[in-house]
Structure 1
């Protein structure tokens, strides 16, 4: 359902993005309503990460429009997009390995000057990830992959985003840790967080998503409710077999 004014919380209209002369996105149309979990699934190189990078400003779309919360953010630099309320957890986590958990989290709140607010946000992160509180003075690079993923998500939450974008959060993690991460994603959504989830683990993603899109070679080829895509023969053969 669209917002009261008839617009979507996030909307991509005919977005085309390139790496040099190589076209990565071919007229992407995609929308998210406030409070949804929407997943984008597809094989390696399909354009999933490029879609997130186009939203966050890391890749500037050549044509098309990206609207967020009623504002055109198509040409925003990454820091402007972050300040507008979009946080991205990148593929491969990319925490600062030589900094402590505390320092990594503080970097997530780079725009906040009030130390009390930073402390309150940190406590909120610990509510989702108690293990980070136990590791507060430990250097990020010495933690397990699962703990680093928790830290990467926690760092994004320190921005208090309106929209959280997760790029392959299950990559390289043991199944039991993947379950924990997805449970926390569901919990965050229940508490009001809007989430765009890029994930190769299509089964896990579609289980928790309100809606999903399937992307192939830079084009959206299927869209629908998560439950519908779970039973779609084309999706089952390509991603759930």
Structure 2
């Protein structure tokens, strides 16, 4: 479904991605793990069209993405739940969800997806008319994911969904991610909590200073000595 080949991305003079390559098959959860500053968020932002690569190709079902705007990429079927959630704080939960469907005009489909979001995230249903800025961190994360789903994507990009959440909420969020995937959603997951990410993913990549240094199935990475020491906190 997605093929990223030899991507180089810069922030000004900073060479953030140095030949990054990865692929995602339809129906998979693929995780990208690494430390702060490794280039994980940059990878997602480049795929989404928010950053332009200076070199390399990105293909989504054969369509070149590196020449398209972010809006065009959303319309093709890729949406993102960004790092830090970035909900619209002065808008209600419902208005935030409706914003997720800005590229659509199928009213019946939007209504159906709103109902689905309320089933998937019951906490949002309870707070549907509440301002998003007054929600807890966990509720805002649920809203960010639900808003991304409202675009009815074929590929969902999740950037640090566990950031700043209590352990119980982290477990809930990852349970929801597995549930979304079981319903047919393909997911590319960026996550600093490598243990949780590998527990739900099919495959993974390890990114260090803008380069992929390891790849394998989730089970292979879970038992890899380097991953265990550097990212799973084991000796």
- Into which bin does the TM-score normalised by the smaller protein fall? over 0.9
Q: How many matched pairs?
A: 233
The answer to whether the aligner puts 1:128 opposite 2:120 as a matched pair is yes
Q: Which runs of 5+ in 2 are unaligned?
A: none
1:23-78: CA deviations, max 9, x gaps? Answer: 10000110000000000000000000000000000000000000001111112111
The answer to whether the aligner puts 1:56 opposite 2:85 as a matched pair is no
The aligned residue for residue 172 of structure 1 is 164
TM-score relative to the length of structure 1? 0.95
The answer to whether the aligner puts 1:162 opposite 2:147 as a matched pair is no
3-state SS of the aligned residue for 2:207?
Answer: strand
The aligned residue for residue 178 of structure 2 is 186
3-state SS of the aligned residue for 1:240?
Answer: coil
The aligned residue for residue 231 of structure 1 is 223
Which residue, out of 11, 34, 42, partners 2:34? 42
Which residue, out of 112, 118, 125, partners 2:110? 118
The aligned residue for residue 190 of structure 2 is 198
How far did 1:107 drift? 0.3
Which residue, out of 141, 145, 158, partners 1:153? 145
3-state SS of the aligned residue for 1:92?
Answer: coil
1:144-186: CA deviations, max 9, x gaps? Answer: 0000000000100000100000000000001111101000100
1:183-237: CA deviations, max 9, x gaps? Answer: 0100111110000000000000001110000000000000000011000000011
Q: Which runs of 5+ in 1 are unaligned?
A: 1-8
Q: Please, what is the CA RMSD of the aligned residues?
A: 0.7
How far did 1:116 drift? 2.0
3-state SS of the aligned residue for 2:231?
Answer: helix
Matches within 5 A, 1:89-104: 89-104=81-96
The answer to whether the aligner puts 1:30 opposite 2:22 as a matched pair is yes
TM-score relative to the length of structure 2? 0.98
Distance 2:68 2:41 in 1: 17
